[in-house]
Amino acid sequence: MKITPMKTTLKFSTLILALGLSSMAMQAYAFGDADSMSEGPYTQQFKALDTDNDGTLTYSEAKKDKVYAKGIRAADLDNDKTLDEKEYSDYKAKVQNKNTKRVVNDSVITAKTKAELLKDEGFKSMKISVETHQGVVLLSGFVENEAQIKQAETIAGAIEGVKSVKNSLVVKSN
Ligand SMILES: [Ca+2]
Ligand SMILES: [Ca+2]
């Protein structure tokens, strides 16, 4: 007869303990969720733009980020006039990849142009500076004669990815 109430008390306190633990676990989960679990690389930026905090960006919200001022229709894949976080971050990643590629291409163009110029005996002793920005190659420095100026420009213009050549080469005056 004495055992039953003890058991009940034990069960009751176990239940309280279990409830306490599970609510602590839920709180920990909730904190974890807010801090890191759903965070992508663009989550903070997305939240900053979402001024009414409804989880989507209207065109006017998104356009505060200049990346979307031009490309908003391309970003809005389901064409519902708002960007959800996935649409936002996919487009952002795409644009940033493109930018990274462009920078790589510029340095590849510079390296290839220098290599091609060095293959030519006439340019080996010249100090020709090559710079590339967004596919535009700038040649500068001193060469021996007018023909070399043209030749360097032709060589640079033939490199893959070159949009145009700005030729600032000059003939040595001595
Ligand atoms: Ca919004
Ligand atoms: Ca959309």
Residue 151 in tokens: 């030749």
Q: Determine how many CB atoms are found less than 10 A away from the CB of residue 40.
A: 15
- Which bound ligand lies closest to the C-alpha atom of 46? 1
Cα of 88 vs centre of ligand 1, distance in Å, is 12
Residue 21 in tokens: 């633990």
pTM score: 0.45
57-58 and 128-133 beta bridge pairing: unpaired
Cα of 102 vs centre of ligand 2, distance in Å, is 28
- In angstroms, the CA 136 to CA 130 distance is 10
**8 A C-beta contact, residue 165 and residue 153:** yes
Cα of 81 vs centre of ligand 2, distance in Å, is 6
The pLDDT averaged over each successive group of 10 residues in the chain (174 residues) is: 54 55 51 55 94 96 91 93 96 86 82 94 89 96 95 95 95 84
* 3-state SS class at 142: strand
